[in-house]
């Protein structure tokens, strides 16, 4: 049986595996190969496929190697982005089996933010020291729903992407927040248009397994979740040099091997274009209202293996896992090689997982420091990608100059 992350039985295995070292006579060839890793060198596909299924006996060696790789990459620091979450519209033309965010028009909770609402939330976040305006929204709802076409007409925009572009520009001009849009599939033209007002953007690849598009599977009736289409968007962002966030969603019907293949697809694009600023490893959480309500959640052991293997496949890329979806096993994730907690909001709920509140920032700081790391606030774009963005003249570069500190992290602002 797959164990649930929230199962009270979990800590025994995880806390033990995180701190225990297998006796020499128990060490397998996997563990021995990990001993021979060169710092900063990615592991092979073959080793990753073995490690993702490693035994509990080998798990401490895997975790130890992943944590060492993280320390080689960014020693002593864990970052996060202080954000406001702006659900621009929760109408969506897709019907993913795990989604609680989407609504049809007229359903309770269906809503498209007005420009006034966008600015009100952004300004409130500004007062709390936020630097990221995360725009999350359904994918092209106007293609399915005449109601969305009417809403957009009233707002004065031709499409959801035109509206998103307008709101990114509004937030950039009127506040100190930096937009990070997550609008789904994008053409080359739309990546360029949004990049004018956003230092980074994102699209979860989720999985490269096409079988999840089959009837009854997680991506049945989700035309925007075709893996090749998502890879094309990520590749186009690479061609344009746009710092890009992507990642895996685990526990939606894919196999451990699929997880490795998904990371390898991201790694391949990053090797060609160098633009992947962050890989998110997100775990599926079951909720009573979704079609996948009875699908078992991935166990903590699966999550740790996936995070650690992702770190070893991409040792010099930022790896994050959302803390609210793993609570209370924060320390285990730090052991498994993440170097970032992702976006954490002191103001807005996680509209994608509203039943899982983000930890209080002070709590996050204390537990991060308890593991021997300093917690630092970053911008929605990671420090290593800032110099290229700031070399291009314009409003975005000006705002970045103001928002960053000497290490290209977030300049400290006193929250009002």
- Which parts of this chain interact with ligand SF4 (CB under 6 A)? 92, 94-96, 99, 101-102, 138-139, 222, 224
What is the C-alpha to C-alpha distance for residues 314 and 292, in angstroms, rounded to an integer? 31
Q: Are 244 and 277 in contact (CB under 8 A)?
A: yes
Around 248, how many Cα atoms within 13 Å sit in the side-chain half-sphere? 32
Q: Are 175 and 218 in contact (CB under 8 A)?
A: no
The tokens 């009573």 sit on which residue? 288
Cβ proximity to ligand SF4: between 18 and 144 the closer is 144
Q: Which residues contact 376 (CB under 8 A, 6 or more apart)?
A: 77, 78, 79, 80, 409, 410
**Least distance CB 352 / ligand SF4 (angstroms):** 8
**Least distance CB 202 / ligand SF4 (angstroms):** 12
**Least distance CB 124 / ligand SF4 (angstroms):** 24
- Please count the other Cβ atoms lying within 10 Å of the Cβ belonging to residue 274: 15
**Least distance CB 139 / ligand SF4 (angstroms):** 5
Q: Which residues contact 384 (CB under 8 A, 6 or more apart)?
A: 277, 408
What is the C-alpha to C-alpha distance for residues 105 and 90, in angstroms, rounded to an integer? 9
Partnered with residue 178 across adjacent β-strands are 132
**Least distance CB 116 / ligand SF4 (angstroms):** 23
Cβ proximity to ligand SF4: between 94 and 236 the closer is 94
**Least distance CB 101 / ligand SF4 (angstroms):** 5
H or E stretch including 319? strand 318-320
**Least distance CB 299 / ligand SF4 (angstroms):** 22
Q: Are 266 and 246 in contact (CB under 8 A)?
A: yes
Cβ proximity to ligand SF4: between 103 and 270 the closer is 103
**Least distance CB 394 / ligand SF4 (angstroms):** 30
**Omega of the bond prior to 328 within 30 degrees of 0, cis?**
yes
- Please count the other Cβ atoms lying within 10 Å of the Cβ belonging to residue 302: 20
Cβ-count burial 368-378 (b if 16+ within 10 Å, e if not): beeeebebbbb
**Least distance CB 204 / ligand SF4 (angstroms):** 8
Cβ proximity to ligand SF4: between 88 and 308 the closer is 88
Query: Where would I find the beta strands (DSSP E) of 58-198?
Result: 77-89, 132-137, 178-182
Q: Measured in whole angstroms, how far is the alpha carbon of residue 332 from the centre of its chain? A: 18
Cβ proximity to ligand SF4: between 98 and 330 the closer is 98
């Amino acid at each position: 049986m797959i164990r649930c992350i929230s199962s009270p039985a979990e800590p025994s295995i995880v806390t033990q595996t995180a701190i225990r070292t297998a006796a020499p006579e128990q060490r397998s060839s996997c563990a021995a190969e990990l001993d021979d890793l060169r710092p900063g060198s990615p592991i092979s596909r073959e080793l990753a496929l073995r490690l993702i299924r490693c035994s509990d006996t080998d798990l401490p060696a895997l975790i130890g190697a992943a944590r060492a790789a993280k320390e080689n990459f960014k020693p002593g620091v864990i970052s996060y982005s202080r954000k406001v979450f702006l659900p621009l519209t929760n109408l969506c033309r897709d019907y993913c089996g795990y989604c609680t965010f989407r609504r049809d028009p007229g359903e309770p909770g269906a809503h498209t933010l007005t420009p006034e609402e966008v600015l009100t939330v952004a300004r409130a976040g500004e007062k709390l020291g936020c630097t990221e305006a995360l725009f999350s929204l359904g994918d092209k709802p106007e293609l399915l729903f005449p109601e969305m076409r009417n809403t957009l007409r009233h707002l004065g925009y031709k499409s959801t992407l035109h509206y998103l572009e307008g709101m990114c520009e509004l937030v950039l001009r009127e506040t100190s927040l930096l937009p990070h849009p997550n609008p789904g599939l994008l053409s080359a033209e739309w990546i360029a248009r949004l990049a004018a007002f956003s230092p980074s953007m994102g699209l979860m690849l989720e999985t490269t397994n096409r079988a999840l598009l089959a009837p009854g599977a997680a991506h049945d009736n989700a035309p925007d979740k075709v893996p090749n289409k998502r890879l094309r968007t990520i590749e186009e962002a690479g061609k344009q040099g746009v710092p890009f966030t992507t990642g895996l969603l685990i526990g939606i019907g894919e196999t451990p091997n699929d997880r490795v293949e998904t990371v390898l697809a991201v790694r391949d694009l990053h090797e060609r274009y160098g633009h992947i600023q962050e890989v998110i490893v997100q775990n599926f959480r079951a909720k009573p209202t979704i079609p996948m309500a009875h699908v078992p959640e991935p166990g903590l052991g699966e999550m740790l293996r996936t995070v650690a293997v992702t770190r070893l496949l991409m040792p010099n890329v930022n790896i994050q896992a959302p803390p609210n979806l793993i609570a209370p096993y924060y320390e285990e994730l730090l052991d498994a090689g993440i170097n970032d907690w992702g976006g954490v909001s002191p103001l807005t709920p996680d509209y994608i997982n509203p039943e899982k509140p983000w930890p209080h920032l002070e709590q996050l700081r204390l537990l991060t420091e308890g593991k021997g790391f300093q917690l630092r606030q970053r911008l929605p774009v990671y420090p290593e990608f800032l110099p290229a963005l700031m070399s291009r003249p314009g409003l975005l570069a000006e705002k970045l100059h103001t928002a960053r500190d000497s290490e290209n992290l977030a300049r400290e602002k006193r929250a009002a």
